[in-house]
Structure formats: structure tokens, C-alpha cells
Amino acid sequence: MGEHIDGPYGVWSKIEGKISKLDEKQLSLLESWSCGRNSNEIIKTLRDMIPEFLRLNKYLCTQVGVEINEDHIKRIIDMVI
């Protein structure tokens, strides 16, 4: 995206509101990641986030010239889940 969303934590109007700079796919992902306090819901949401997390990790590694080690990231994720 190449943009920083300036504002205090919790100002969701800039992230999900009418003035959001996110595209429809990004907004849809955010909406689908909603969960309550139930531990099963939290784990399911974490699992749903993995593909986007891996995509973002790959993008950021490329931007800063760091080796992409997806297997290492997946091992860490497996320890969390």
C-alpha cells in the first residue's frame, strides 16, 4: 500500500470507515478476522490470518533485503497455535 495511516490506536474510521484508504479486499479480510473471547474463535481467526501474514512477511523481507525464511515463520506459528 505504501501509506502510513496516521492516528491514535483505535481510530477505526481511518481504517474501516468511509475515509479508509484500504481497498475492498483488505476491508473484507479485516471483517472476516473478527472474533470474540472464546479461545476456539481466537485460534480459528489466527489460522485465517496466516496466509496474509506470510504474504506481508514476504513483502517486507523483499523491501528491506532480508532473506525470506517462510519455513522458520511457519515453525513459529505452529508453536503459537
Instruction: Report pLDDT digits (tens) over 36-53.
Output: 899 999 999 999 999 999
65 or 35, greater pLDDT:
65
- Ramachandran area for residue 35 (φ above 0: left; ψ -120 to 50: alpha; else beta): beta
Contact call for residues 77 and 71 (beta carbons, < 8 A): no
Please state the pTM of the whole predicted model. Answer: 0.70
Distance of CA 46 to the CA centre of its chain: 9
C-alpha cell at 43: 485460534
What are the angstrom distances between the C-alpha of 14 and each of 10, 17, 36, 78? 9, 6, 22, 33
pLDDT of residue 9: 58
39, 45 Cβ separation under 8 angstroms: no
**68 touches 57 (CB < 8 A):** yes
